[in-house]
Amino acid sequence: MDTQQLLEAAQTINILRSMFADEKNEWLPVIAAIGGAFVGGVSTFLPSFLLERRKAKLEKRSVEVAIVSEISALLEVIERRMYVHDLEKEIDYLKKNPDKKVQFAVKVPAHYSQVYQQHISKIGLLHPELSAKIIRFHQLIDSVVQDIATDGVVANAGGDLKTLGELLEIFESAVTVGNEIVGERVQQKLRAEG
C-alpha cells in the first residue's frame, strides 16, 4: 500500500467517524417528522387510491355488461318474434294497396329497457363511442316502441306506406346499432381472453 492509498483510507475513516459522532443535529427531528408525515400520507393515500380505481373499473364493467346484455336480449326478442319481417310484409301489402293504412301493434312492457334506465346516470363511465351507440340504440328503439305500442300512432290510427317505410328504416337502424354494440363487446371479450 502506498502513501496515497493510506491517506485516502484515513480520510474515509474520518468521514465515517464524523457520521457516527455524537454531535446533536437540530434538523434531525424536523426531517424525521416530515419524512414520517410523507410516509404516512403515502401509505394512507395509495391503498385508498388503488381501491377506488379498482371499484370504478368494476363498476364500469358491471354497467357495460348489464346494458349490453339487455341490448342482446332485445335483439334476440326482435329476431325470434320476427318484428322486422312482419313489418316488411305489411309494407309489401301497402305497396300493392297504396291507398290503405295498416295497424301494426306490439304489446311492449314498460320495463323493456329497465336496465338502461337504471344505469343511464353511469353511462359516462363507459367508453364515449360505446356510450354514444348505446344511447342511439335506445333512442331509435324508443321511437319504434312509441309508434307500435298498443297506444301508439301506427297501432291505433294505422300507417300508410310512407309511415311504415320510415318505421322500418328506424327499426333496422336500431337493430344494426344494437348488433354493432353486441358484436364489439364479444370481440373485446375474445381479445381479453386470447
Q: For residue range 87-137, list pLDDT tens digits in order.
A: 999 999 999 999 999 998 888 888 899 999 999 999 999 999 999 999 999
CA distance 182 to 174: 12
* pLDDT bracket for residue 17 (50, 70, 90): low
Q: pLDDT tens for residues 145-175?
A: 999 998 888 888 999 999 999 999 999 999 9
Contact 115, 66 (CB under 8 A): yes
| CA dist., res. 69 & res. 63, Å (int) | 10
Percent of the chain with pLDDT over 90: 54
Look up the pTM and report it: 0.71
Report the distance separating Cα 129 and Cα 136, nearest Å: 11
Mean pLDDT of the chain: 85
| 150 vs 16: CA distance, rounded Å | 92
Give the C-alpha separation, 87 to 67, whole Å.
26
> Does the pLDDT of residue 39 top 90, yes or no?
no
